[in-house]
């Protein structure tokens, strides 16, 4: 069994803000990825905006951020 008694002093609001900050930090790290790496495997002539994995990851992070912010 895992013992998480040391987390009993953290309120739900503080935990919520910690996770929101982590989502923003992950989004910032995604933006640091070079475009050539994000388009890896796609020919330069076939590159479209929807092939950019950075946009897809930022979109999924934004959806998670909104869900965590609401609830």
Residue ranges of domains in the chain: 13-34+48-71
Rounded CA separation 59/15 (Å): 22
Residue 31 contacts residue 54 (beta carbons within 8 Å): yes
Name, in order, each residue with C-beta under 8 angstroms of 65's C-beta and a sequence gap of 6 or more: 20, 23, 24
Give the pLDDT confidence of 42-65 residue by residue, as tens digits: 888 888 988 888 999 999 999 999
Residue 1 has pLDDT above 80, yes or no: no
What pTM was computed for the model?
Answer: 0.77
pLDDT at 40: 83
Give the pLDDT confidence of 2-58 residue by residue, as tens digits: 677 877 888 889 989 999 999 999 999 999 999 888 888 888 888 898 888 899 999
């Amino acid at each position: 069994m895992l013992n998480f008694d040391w987390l009993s002093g953290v309120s739900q609001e503080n935990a919520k803000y910690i996770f929101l900050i982590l989502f923003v930090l992950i989004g910032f790290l995604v933006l640091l990825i070079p475009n050539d790496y994000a388009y890896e495997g796609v020919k330069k002539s076939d590159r479209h905006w929807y092939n950019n994995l950075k946009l897809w990851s930022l979109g999924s992070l934004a959806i998670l951020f909104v869900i965590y912010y609401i609830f």
